[in-house]
Structure 1
Amino acid sequence: MGKSIVVNISELTAKHKISMRELSRISRVRHAALSELANGKRESINFSHIVRIAEALDIQDIREIIDLVDTTEKEL
């Protein structure tokens, strides 16, 4: 069993009733970068993006943005 990091962009936009495009505008993070984070397509996370998202949505706890989850290895 392993761990992976999940970025909760979709949940945040739904909770705050804004589009990803609006989050991009208010956080000054490119829409493409937000989309890649939301879809698990990024291999690394830019900490400045996390800070900008937190500031834009007035988030005090980073765990609202990112989460560490258990993953199961796929069987071959």
Structure 2
Amino acid sequence: MSGTNRKLIITLDKVLANRNNMTQKQLAEMTGIRTAAISELYNNQRNSINRDHLMKIADALEIDDIRELLHIEKLDA
């Protein structure tokens, strides 16, 4: 079997909306992560995810459950 039928979705858009509409720029300033990297995560444009970035985002937003930030979506076959 080649490929995958699942996709990792980053829900940063929903998380920021639930944080009084925090901006990507504000999150970048809080975490020290480049604004461009935050934008790529926000728009699900990354092929790989930096674990350190996830931890910085979780710390900044006081996220204790990674499921608040990520979920796996099954793709249509």
Category of TM-score, reference length = shorter chain: 0.7 to 0.9
Residues in 1 aligned to 2:34 and 2:71: alpha-carbon distance in whole angstroms: 21
CA RMSD of aligned residues (A): 1.3
SS in 1 for 2:48: coil
TM-score, normalising length from structure 2?
A: 0.87
Moved over 2 A (4+): none
Tell me, which stretches of 5 or more residues in structure 1 are unaligned? none
**For 1:55, which of 46, 59, 71 is the aligned residue?**
59
Q: CA deviation at 1:37?
A: 1.1
Residues in 2 aligned to 1:29 and 1:44: alpha-carbon distance in whole angstroms: 15
Residues in 2 aligned to 1:5 and 1:70: alpha-carbon distance in whole angstroms: 9
TM-score, normalising length from structure 1?
A: 0.88
SS in 1 for 2:57: helix
Q: CA deviation at 1:66?
A: 1.1
